[in-house]
Structure 1
Amino acid sequence: MPSTRSASGLTEGSLVGPMVKLAWPIVVIQLLQVTYNIADTFWLGALSSDAVGALSLAFPLIFFLISVGGGFTIAGSILVAQHTGAGGDEEASAVAGQTLSFVSIMAVGIAVVGYFLVDPMLSLLPADERTAAVIIPMAADYMRVFFLGAPFLFGFFVFSALMQGYGETKPPMRIMAVSVLINVVLDPIFIFGLGPIPGMEIEGAAIATVLSRGLATILGLYVIFGTDTGPQVELHHLKPDFDRIREIVKLGVPTAAEQSTSSMAMVILTGMVATFPPAVVAAYGLGNRLSSLVFLPAMGLGQATNTMVGQNLGAKRPDRAERSVRLAGGLVAGVMFVVALVAFFVPEPLVSVFLSADEPRVAETIKHGSDYLRIMAPMFVFMGVLQVILGAFRGAGNTRTALVFSMLTLWVARVPATYYLVFVEGWGPTGIWVAVALGDIVGAIAAVAWFLRGTWKMSVVVNTETEPTLGD
């Protein structure tokens, strides 16, 4: 008999309680995720602003490759959520197993390809002379180590996504906390050296991240296979089942395309930024890391919306699915408005805390970073609402729709606006900051307009308790 243990709290009763219960561990996970980047940025900022600039160049290129596998982890989460809402725990477990094995194989391939593409990818950046001489080689050192550890990263991503789809968000949060704590401890040891361990500078930051991610993956696999928490995955669920893999691929390809084209847009934007001196490159990286911290509530509520919509559509509750989206949108708009006020009026202290190295370019980097944060602040509300709406589309299985609005945000608005404002109008760094804000404002307005049409409220799985099978 199908179990509805996980679904019952999400498909019945009050919406606020289950949504907050589901979302707050996701917010904490996102906070811990950002802590990885902040720890690297903080310690490398104590090393030099050039090291921070190297991270600014490395991450868009890294994300471009790992986003391909990330799309299929989201597909697995969508299917687990809808099967759980429909009362099909066995099918949810089978999908979880197929997602785990399929993405693991992809991760090994991405690690190999990424390692050998580091230099060709970086060579495509039209870098400023000093950026090419100093920052790009450092970015290459970081990326090679990072790609070698890619399978460890994917292991935890898959575990977290599958548990989220099932409605269990606390176990990934606890594991992430342990992993981040280890990373925070290892970062200064491997960057600067301690005792017999030599200082490896930017490569040390990458090694610390890979080791701590590896532990998170091991603990996540233990939860999936060794406990009764989440989907009950067994070894036979890992054997390739091409029908289920096709289902995962059908949903995953648009999401992988969304993430990879989004990361490609970020690569192109990074290429434009690389034409500026190192201080602007470092400020761009700092601004992006601070914005990722600011967007934690939006990301958490967006992912919670994904699960709420998936389980409620699986349970044939489209009205409840829509109410959950409206509730999440209102919550995130209020939170992001307050955050925007802080970022607009006091940006400099937020930026300067990450640059403690004693060198001439620090003051210039802080100035550019403060300008970036102040200009971005008005778009925080729009970005938050956009994340919730995209979460609704994905939860409903409308991954192509999410792809369209992500493309609109980046490729129709942000990238052309950056080129025009920087290279045609000659706005300099200000053109970059303004274009970032403009893209999310345009994307959010368009996505909300489409959401209000209501055509997204369809499940991609059959409710095993209320729907007749084909043989009935």
Structure 2
Amino acid sequence: MQATMNDAPRPGWATEARATLSLSGPIVLTNLSQMALALTEALLLGRLGTDALAAGMLATSLHFALIAPGFGLALAAAPLQAMARGSARLPGGAGRGWLHNMRRATRASLWAAGLAILPAWVLLWNAAALLRALGQDPVLAALAQDYTRAAMFGMPGFCAFIALRGFLAAMERPAAAMWVAIGAVALNLPVAWLLIFPAGLGMLGAGLSITIAETAMLLALLVLIRRDRVFRRFRLLGRVWRLNLDWLGRVATVGLPIAGSMLLEIGIFSAAALAMGWFGAVAAAAHAIAIQTASTTFMVPMGIGQAATARVGLAVGAGRMADAARAGWVAIGLGAGFMAAMAAMLLLAAGFIARGFLDPMDPRAAEVAALGATLLAVAGVFQLADGVQVVAAGALRGLADTRVPMVFAAIGYWVLGLPAGLALAFWAGLGPAGIWMGLATGLAVVAVLMLVRWRRLSAAG
């Protein structure tokens, strides 16, 4: 294995683009598959009625906000794993021990994510009280709690899956995670339908199906890694009960700012969801349509950004900063190009997309679809900025630069984006659309700041 890592050719721009697309393709499909779990359930809950769709939006917003710390710490494995593997390319055996370091990074990220999940469980178990305290309708809050209490037990499987996916990306063999994620969607659709409708569990059934799917994803990926001759040699879970405080500290150093950035970003959309709840069930349901659609398109640049983390990290570990800079810029260009196309699609097909989420027999369907189409049009405007910022963040993560991007997220989302959205919604009288305009403003600011940061650090290298 060592021989294959030394003296690797240095890619040009076209070669780098092909390598990034090759790596990001399975990662993107994995992300889309994971998003399809939530999208499928939103479509099914929409058939239960406007209240169920609105409650599902509140529940998933809270769920994703509280999983952010564990998710971020699991993501910290990826740059550490990539740098460890890249160090095998250093001359003179300077990177000796890289295999053990990949194993240590994986184990430490699993420990860190697991510890971060525990307080999230406490809050999710009491979601109804938390949502009522945040001004939400008691009926919607109670329905949302049915979901969160069932879905929260899938968090460990999801975070562990993310850490192992980072290992596969560092090894430049992400296809196994892709097939597992696609299989989870195929499993979740019939299971969710059976639990929600024939079993009559409604919101509880939707949450339970997510736990089943995410646990199955982890188990299936572990089986595939165990059966692979190369991967088996890493013994990723060997003595996993032994806590390495040094590597836990490294994961925390890289991962806590990632978790903070994710919490700030997810939190701003969760705050927007709560603000939508103040406008009533129609606004909350319309927001659910827009956020599910925008989140789906977001999965592609997010996957490109995760590939950028691996490509940049591999180059940094090998001491090739020019290659790292090239990898980052190629990924940013690919992400921007895709999201420009998605912006055009949302602007042209907003009404058609919104109607697809709703039961036409619902008496409020027309009102929800009209508002949902308006929000989707606003989402189309910020697509490009959203794509650029997430890919640039992924490239910076490959440099292990995570603290400053967290500050950028705080400024863009919470200092500018949320206040602007609330001002436009309430003081300017724009209503729900004003909140989304504020989100667009915050994303644009973060995108510019991330690009400037990447340009400076990649040039300095």
The normalised TM-score by structure 2 is 0.91
Distance in 1 of aligned mates of 2:367 and 2:22 = 43
Q: Is the 8 A contact 1:71 1:256 kept in 2?
A: yes
Q: Which amino acid aligns with 1:91?
A: N
Change (3 A) 1:346 1:455: closer
Matched, 1:439 2:442: yes
Q: Is the 8 Å Cα contact of residues 393 and 456 (structure 1) preserved in structure 2?
A: no
Q: Is 1:176 matched up with 2:181?
A: yes
Report the Cα distance in structure 1 between the residues aligned to 2:218 and 2:3, rounded to whole angstroms.
27
User: Structure 1 149/297 Cα, relative in aligned 2: closer, same or farther at 3 Å?
Assistant: closer
Report the AA paired with residue 267 of structure 1: S
Q: Is 1:125–1:274's contact at 8 Å kept on the other side of the alignment?
A: no
Q: Give 5+ residue unaligned stretches, structure 1.
A: 459-472
Equivalent of residue 300 in structure 1, options 300, 303, 316: 303
Decide whether the 8 Å contact of 1:396 with 1:456 is kept in 2: no
CA offsets 1:202-223 (integer angstroms, 9 cap, x no match): 1111111111211111112223
Specify the code of the residue in structure 2 equivalent to 1:92: M
**2:172 equivalent in structure 1:** 167
Give 2:204's aligned residue. Answer: 203
1:89 Cα deviation from its structure 2 partner: 2.2
In structure 1, the residue matched to 2:395 is 392
Deviation at 1:393, TM superposition (A): 1.0
Q: Across the two proteins, how many residue pairs are aligned to each other?
A: 448
Q: Please name the residue that 2:159 is paired with.
A: 154
Tell whether the 8 Å contact from 2:125 to 2:145 is kept in structure 1 after alignment.
no
Structure 2 Cα separation of the partners of residues 256 and 4 of structure 1: 36
- In the alignment, is residue 34 of structure 1 matched against residue 57 of structure 2? no
Instruction: Name the residue aligned to 1:50.
Output: 51
Instruction: Give the equivalent residue in structure 1 for 2:71.
Output: 70
Question: Are 1:347 and 2:350 an aligned pair?
Answer: yes
Equivalent of residue 407 in structure 1, options 399, 407, 410? 410
Q: Secondary structure at the match of 2:456?
A: coil
Kept in 2: contact 1:72–1:99 (CA 8 A): yes
1:390-431 CA deviation, whole Å, 9 max, x = no partner? 111111100102212222231122111111111222211221
Which has the higher mean CA deviation after the structures are superposed, 92-101 or 139-148? 92-101
Q: Which residue of 2 aligns with 1:464?
A: none
- The equivalent residue for 2:327 is 324
Q: Is the 8 A contact 2:112 2:251 kept in 1?
A: no
CA distance in 2, matches of 1:238, 1:53: 41
Give the stretch that moved more between structures: 231-240 or 308-317. Answer: 231-240
Q: Identify the residue that residue 470 of structure 1 maps to in structure 2.
A: none
* Aligned counterpart, 1:285: 288
Is contact 2:76–2:255 with CA below 8 Å preserved after alignment? Answer: yes
Measured in 2, the distance between the counterparts of 1:228 and 1:154 equals 24
1:398 aligned counterpart, secondary structure: coil
- CA distances 1:21-56 after superposition (whole Å, capped 9, x unpaired): 100001101110111011101111111121111121
- Tell me by how many angstroms 1:351 deviates: 1.3
Q: Is the 8 A contact 2:147 2:204 kept in 1?
A: yes
Distance 1:119 1:439 in 2: 29
Instruction: Tell me if the contact between 1:111 and 1:149 (Cα under 8 Å) persists in the aligned partners.
Output: no
Alignment of 1:120 onto 2:129? yes
Q: Please give the alpha-carbon distance, in whole angstroms, between the structure 2 residues aligned to 1:224 and 1:96.
A: 13
Q: How far off is 1:7 after superposition?
A: 8.7
Residues 1:12 and 1:341: Cα distance change in structure 2 (over 3 Å) = closer
8 A contact 1:347–1:374 mirrored in 2: yes
Q: Aligned AA for 1:63?
A: F
Instruction: Report the CA distance shift for 1:100/1:319 in structure 2 as closer, same or farther (over 3 A).
Output: same
Q: CA deviation at 1:155?
A: 2.7
Report the equivalent of 1:462.
none
> SS where residue 295 of structure 1 aligns?
helix
Moved more, 17-26 or 429-438: 429-438
Tell me the secondary structure at the aligned position of residue 86 of structure 1: helix
1:186 correspondence with 2:195: no
Q: Secondary structure at the match of 1:188?
A: helix
Amino acid at match of 1:31: L
Question: For the residues of structure 2 that align with 1:323 and 1:352, how far apart are their CA atoms?
Answer: 42
Change in 2 beyond 3 A, CA 1:340/1:265: closer
Structure 1 pair 102–404 and aligned structure 2 pair: CA distance change class (3 A):
closer
1:450 corresponds to which of 441, 444, 453:
453
SS in 1 for 2:229: coil
Write out aligned runs for 1:247-266 (5 A): 247-266=250-269
Distance (whole Å) between structure 2 residues aligned to residue 122 and residue 366 of structure 1: 25
Q: CA RMSD of the aligned region, Å?
A: 2.2
- Per-residue CA deviation, residues 327-381 of structure 1 (Å, 9 max, x unaligned), is 1222222222222112112211111111125211111110011001112212211
Do the aligned residues in 2 keep the contact of 1:111 with 1:151 (CA within 8 Å)?
no
* TM superposition shift of 1:446: 2.1
Partner of 2:239: helix, strand, or coil? helix
| Residues 119, 456 of structure 1: alpha-carbon distance in 2 compared, 3 angstrom cutoff | farther
Residue 22 of structure 2 corresponds to: 21
Q: What is residue 465 of structure 1 aligned with on the other side?
A: none
Which one of the candidate residues 302, 309, 312 is aligned to 1:309?
312
TM-score, normalised by the number of residues in structure 1: 0.89
**In 2, Cα distance between the equivalents of 1:416 and 1:355?**
31
**Change in CA separation of 1:116 and 1:191 when aligned onto 2, cut-off 3 Å:** closer
Percent identity over paired residues? 25
Cα distance, 1:112 vs structure 2: 3.8
Structure 1 Cα separation of the partners of residues 3 and 106 of structure 2: 17
| 139-148 or 280-289, which deviates more | 139-148
